[in-house]
Structure 1
Amino acid sequence: MSVTTLPVPGPDDHRDEVGQAVAEVVRYVAAQAPAQPEDETQPAGKRHEVLVRTRRVRRLRAEVDEAHALLSLQGDTAPLAVDSRKVRRSRKRAMQAARLHALAQDAAARAWQASRVRAVLTLVAMTALVGALAWSTTGVHHTLTLNTPAYSAAWWGAWAVEPVISAVLLVVVAARAYLATRGRVLNHPHLNRVERGALAVTLTLNVWPYLPFVAETFEPMTLLAHSIGPLVAVAAVTVMPVIWAEFAGLDHGDTTPTADSVAASPAEVTEATGTVASLADPPHSPENDEIDPRMPDTPIVQAQPLPVLSKRAGELLPRVLAAVTAGTLPPVPSGSAIRAHLRCGSEYAREIREYLAARHESEVTR
Structure 2
Amino acid sequence: MSQAIDLAAQPYRAPLTERLAIRWARMRRWEFWPAWLFYIPVIAWILWLGLRHRSPTAFTAANPAFDSGGVVGESKAVALGALQQNAPGLVAHFELLPLGEALELRIARAQRFAALGGGYPVVLKPDIGSRGRGVAVIRDEAALRAYLTQASGDVLVQRYIGGEEFGLFVYREPGSGAPRLYSITHKCFPSVTGDGRRRLVELIADDARARLIAPLLWQRFADRLQEIPAPGERFALVEIGAHCRGSLFLDASHLASEALLAAVARVFEAIPGFHFGRLDLRCPSEAALREGRELRILEVNGVTAEAAHIYHPGTPLRRGYASMFRQWRLAFAIGAENAARGATITGPFELLHRFRADLERGKAWS
TM-score normalised to the size of structure 1? 0.19
Question: Hey, which of these two has a bigger chunk of helix by percent?
Answer: 1
Larger relative contact order, structure 1 or 2 (CA cutoff 8 Å, min sep 6): 2
Question: Hey, which of these two has a bigger chunk of strand by percent?
Answer: 2
TM-score normalised to the size of structure 2? 0.19
